[in-house]
Amino acid sequence: MAIGDPHTWPEVETIFVSNSFHLEHDAWEWEACTLVPWALHLPPDAGARDIASLIIRELHLRPGDIAVTLHQPEPYLVRFDSAAHTAEARRHGRFTGGGIDIYLRPWRSLMHALGFRIFYRVRLYLDSIPSHTWTLEIVERVIGHKCALQHIVTDLIQPADSRHIELWAWTVDPSEIPKKVWLAFTHSPAAKFSIFSRQGTRYEVFIHMPLLEDYTAAARNLQQAVDNLESITSVRRRYEWRYGLDARSRFPTRPPWEPEQWNHDDDDDRNPSDRGRGRSSAYGATGARRDAPVDLFPFEGKITALTNLPLLTTPWELAGNT
């Protein structure tokens, strides 16, 4: 078994996409200008070009007024440049010639779609998304595998609080929302590496769920829920969370600050009598040598105190900074 073999692939995945005015308009335009041919008789060697030629000849159209494409699951789609030409083709109904005998019917965007309902609404905080990537597209990519975005509370352009992005979303199963995701950005590599590799950077993003609203009671009687919305109340559950931690962790999974940069040469050039003064180069603010091992998690001996910290405590505050 090798990486990438078909039997190693996941069976199924769901991607949630927020519908929009533009998508609705495009669906309406496609339905108004697209027809599906039903073939009563089609020679084995006939194809899309032959069907297009027959329709152009029968309706006296120009070649650019129609496009016939291979499709699936319908064998062909016939798309006209205007709704008027589509209506004319529907009135014509049946097209015969050159051994081809077809009938055109309307195409519908929901023909092969399945409906679903979601009964869980969640309030999410996206913690540690880089500020320069605060866009609707990024937010939807972060939650799109498990949640359908309802609306974003945080002002992404001029936020009053840039510690997290607050949003509301719907999910089929709240238990499947990941506690943490890696937001990875790929970069255009150098030409000599472009054939076999791609470089990038990734950011650790925590997904906090402080509130869950359960509307599964409505599933018992959907018609009653639709007729009397006030009769349906949600079961609300709240959860604790902290910045920089996932729901299972008690301590930060990354250092509370960036390790300081230093130059080893500065330490060698210093006068021995000066050691202990002016520690800007070889010594840090705590008096420890900078070329000594860096303690990125300086909480030893404070475990008891950490377990009693208030909620919403940042790693910066955990380190003793205010």
* Ranges of each domain in the chain: 21-106, 120-238
Q: Please state the φ and ψ torsions of residue 302, each to the nearest 5 degrees.
A: -120, 20
pLDDT confidence of residue 250 = 54
Taking the C-alpha atoms of residue 185 and residue 164, their distance in angstroms, rounded to an integer, is 19
User: Per the structure block, which two tokens stand in for 169?
Assistant: 């979303």
Q: Tell me the average pLDDT of the chain.
A: 79
Could you tell me which of 298, 299, 281 has the C-alpha nearest to residue 290? 281
Burial group, residue 67, by CB count within 10 angstroms (0-12, 13-18, 19+): middle
- pLDDT by residue (tens digit) across 209-243? 999 999 888 877 777 777 676 767 789 999 999 99
> What pTM was estimated for this model as a whole?
0.68
DSSP notation for 216-232: GGGGG-HHHHHH-GGG-
pLDDT confidence of residue 247 = 73
CATH class of 21-106: alpha beta
Say which residue the tokens 């996409």 belong to.
17
